[in-house]
Amino acid sequence: MSSVLTEGQHLLGAFAVVLDLVGTFVFALSGAAAGVKNRFDLFGLMVLAFATGNAGGITRDLLIGAVPPAALTNLQYLWISIFAALAVFFWYRKIDVQGKLVLCLDAAGLALFAVTGTEKALAAGLNPVMAALLGMLTGIGGGMIRDVLVNQTPAVLQSDLYAVAALAAGATVVVGHLLHLPSFVGMLVGLALCLGVRLMAILRGWHLPIARPSQ
């Protein structure tokens, strides 16, 4: 019985790592695309890609005491970020860096990091509420760093559904955990929910109410 549980934990851990690496890649792509849009050179693209792809995960690992962070000990995170930067650098003419590409890639990275951040927080023993909040923080971290480095107002501070989508993903993972569902089920549902909400916000202009100053 214990061997079955151990094997299941290993499979779950591997699944979470795969999602983490995919999230790093798509966030790094969004960072590099934003760099091209703002006329960064090749080294600047690599720096921005790495920062965007790994800021959320590094923050998560530091807060739960998983030090040194995986992004600083596993070279896969570095190579994935560099590959994303090179891909955008050489093929940017075929990429719509001026349109919604950055937003769509950002939505994918947001969803992936929100669910893996929440799952890792639960595995570290955080209570469900704080695990969902840490998942949200993991999701929004990379996008915030990218926007600051290209001198833009971070999307999380604007009216479109950004942090809300990440929090919904984290809450979904937590609910699945409390209902004792297989962890990958909660992660996949949370991933789909976050991605769907964020894409609808991008395509349909969904946003939270905005305070209007008096005239």
pLDDT for 149: 93
How many angstroms separate the Cα of 156 from the Cα of each of 12, 13, 64, 87, 188?
30, 29, 23, 27, 23
Q: Using CA atoms, how far apart are residues 118 and 23, in angstroms rounded to an integer?
A: 14
pLDDT for 214: 63
pLDDT tens, position by position, for the chain (215 residues)?
545 445 555 665 677 788 889 989 999 998 998 898 888 999 999 999 999 999 999 999 999 998 999 899 999 999 999 999 999 998 877 666 556 777 788 888 899 999 999 999 999 999 999 999 999 999 999 989 999 999 988 878 876 788 999 999 999 999 999 999 988 899 999 999 999 999 888 888 777 777 776 65
Using an 8 Å Cβ cutoff, are 142 and 55 in contact? Answer: yes
According to DSSP, residue 157 is labeled: G
What b/e string do you get for 83-104 counting C-beta neighbours within 10 Å, with b at 16 or more? bbbebbbeebeebebeeebbbb
pTM, full prediction: 0.86
